Amino acid sequence: MIFFVLYNIWIMFKALKLKLQLAKSLLLGILFVMIGLVVDFLNGMGVINTPPLASFMIMLNVLLVLFSLCRSYVAHVNKLKNVNNELDELVKERTAQLHQANEELKKVVNTDALTGVYNRRKFSETIKEKFKTAVMQNDYLSLIMLDIDEFKTYNDFYGHVYGDDLLVRVARLIKDVLPENVIFSRYGGEEFSVILPGYNLVETKRIAEQIRQTIENEQIENLGSASGVITVSLGCAERITDQIHSEIELIKVSDERLYKSKSHGRNQVTFES
């Protein structure tokens, strides 16, 4: 019994040194055991006459320690759950930030820095994807290629800073008249493109004519040109109507019709060969 008590005292001091909650239970349990030993000793000396208590107090000590261990285990489990929840929230937050950063990066990569519309890279990816989808679904796919008339003359007359401002203004005017489900891009220089999934050639011609009229009605001054105002020339093509078999051919036909509009006096829409 003495060795058992000494062993428990040693464990209690270790627990106190480590500042464990178990130390309090050990102290109380040792007190119970000491009381049981003193009572049994006095019983053996004939001083008192009571039932033996030492074994009961030892069992009570063990139960106290087990209870304390269970409480400590539950506290650690709850703490671990809280840590895991905090980690989950942190992972969700970091994932959302990463997703946002990726979206912003995509926007930067796919956007023309000057005009704010899609760039040539986005156009090339989209026309290939939309053409493939149109073939699979046997659906219409139209393309408008347009170019600012006499843009070089405007640049030479007003300077490149005003030329950049003109590109931004024209892009904004075109974007405002386009339906939401089309893809508007700066193809290069003063040339723009509009991909129209699901639009037949008649609908595409109507949209192209609306673009042309919008730019003409704006009456943007261009004293370096014969007309005196900014205009655009446009060429349209459609996959089914024009019997086109690839996105490259669709671009080529639209571009050829654009330059046909230019060669026939500019400020017009060409939609047939």
Enter the tokens of residue 148: 């600012």
Alpha-carbon span 151 to 104, nearest angstrom = 32
Residue 32 predicted with pLDDT over 80: no
Which of the two residues, 1 and 192, has the higher pLDDT score?
192
pLDDT at 158: 93
Give CA torsion, residues 260, 263, 266, 270, to 10 deg. -20
Residue 157's pLDDT band, with cuts at 50, 70 and 90, is very high
Long-range contacts made by residues 148-151, C-beta under 8 angstroms, separation at least 24?
Answer: 148/190, 148/191, 148/230, 148/231, 148/232, 149/225, 149/227, 149/230, 149/231, 149/232, 149/233, 149/262, 149/266, 149/267, 150/222, 150/224, 150/225, 150/226, 150/266, 151/189, 151/190
**What global pTM score does this model have?**
0.67
Neighbours of 114 (CB within 10 A): 13
Residue 102's pLDDT band, with cuts at 50, 70 and 90, is confident
Residue 1's pLDDT band, with cuts at 50, 70 and 90, is low
Among 78-92, 97-111, 113-127, 143-157, the range scoring the smallest mean pLDDT is 97-111
How would you classify residue 91: left for phi > 0, otherwise alpha for psi between -120 and 50, otherwise beta?
alpha
Phi, psi of 238 (to 5 degrees): -135, 140
pLDDT, tens digit, 9 for 90 and up, residues 206-259: 999 999 999 999 999 998 888 899 999 999 999 999 999 999 999 999 999 999
Enter the tokens of residue 248: 């490259």
Catalytic residues: 190
Which of the two residues, 99 and 167, has the higher pLDDT score?
167
Among 27-41, 107-121, 162-176, the range scoring the smallest mean pLDDT is 27-41
pLDDT at 199: 97
Alpha-carbon span 254 to 146, nearest angstrom = 9
Length, in residues, of the chain: 273
Residue 33 predicted with pLDDT over 80: no
pLDDT at 27: 67
Residue 128 predicted with pLDDT over 70: yes
Does residue 271 contact residue 201 with C-beta atoms inside 8 Å?
A: yes
Q: What is the CATH topology of the domain spanning 120-270?
A: Alpha-Beta Plaits (3.30.70)
Residue 36 predicted with pLDDT over 80: no
Alpha-carbon span 245 to 21, nearest angstrom = 79
Among 31-45, 126-140, 162-176, the range scoring the smallest mean pLDDT is 31-45
pLDDT, tens digit, 9 for 90 and up, residues 48-97: 777 777 777 777 777 777 777 787 788 888 888 998 999 999 899 888 88
Residue 120 CB burial class (10 angstroms; 0-12, 13-18, ≥19): middle
Using alpha carbons only, give the angle 270, 153, 219 rounded to the nearest 5 degrees: 65
Among 58-72, 93-107, 117-131, top mean pLDDT goes to 117-131
> What are the extents of the domains in the chain?
2-92, 120-270
Residue 153 predicted with pLDDT over 70: yes
As a whole number of Å, the CA-based R_g of the chain is: 42
